[in-house]
Homo-oligomer: A and B are copies of this chain.
Amino acid sequence: MMRMRSIALALSLLLPRMTCAQPPGGSEADRAALFAVDAEFSAAAQKIGIAEAFVRYADPEATMLPPGENAVTGAGGIRAQFAGMPAAATLAWKPVKAEVAASGDLGYTLGTYEMRSTDAEGKPVVRYGKYCSVWKKQKDGSWKWAVDVGTPSPPPK
């Protein structure tokens, strides 16, 4: 827990305007659990690929709001959304905030992401952004994302 806090603190220093708010309802344990799930979700994207990780962690009616495109819902839509990405691209993210309802069935995370790929000449390209994910507790007790939306950010200074 201390380690997670230290990571959150370090990230909040990098993103000073995204401060940790006083949470409204859920327990500290719920918030820590959701924070951990979002971090685990990013680790899964490195291991099994971005599209498969998004599908694996998706609520059955999960909706993505990709910039410049229409909203996408469900596993087929999610896979199609990532189909155009270069095979070597990686997407990694870090939650900086998690809040959970008092009832423990709904929560959200905020964080930052880095997408690494290569341009037409093979030169590495890094794109930075931030995201909000809304999460729903499933019947089996696991958290799955119900909404995912990210927007580009300027490179960190």
Residues of chain A touching chain B, judged by Cβ–Cβ distance below 8 Å, are 15, 17-19, 21-22, 24-26, 59-61, 63, 65-73, 77, 99-103, 105-108, 110, 130-132, 134, 136-137, 146-147, 149-154
Contact = CB atoms under 8 A, between A and B. Distances in A.
A99 B106 contact: yes
Contacts of A63: 17-18, 110
Given A61-B22, A71-B17, A105-B102, A132 B154 contact: no
A106 B15 contact: no
A154 B68 contact: yes
Given A103-B25, A106-B106, A151 B66 contact: yes
Contacts of A69: 153-154
A18 B146 CA distance: 12
Contacts of A146: 21, 99, 108
B65 A132 contact: yes
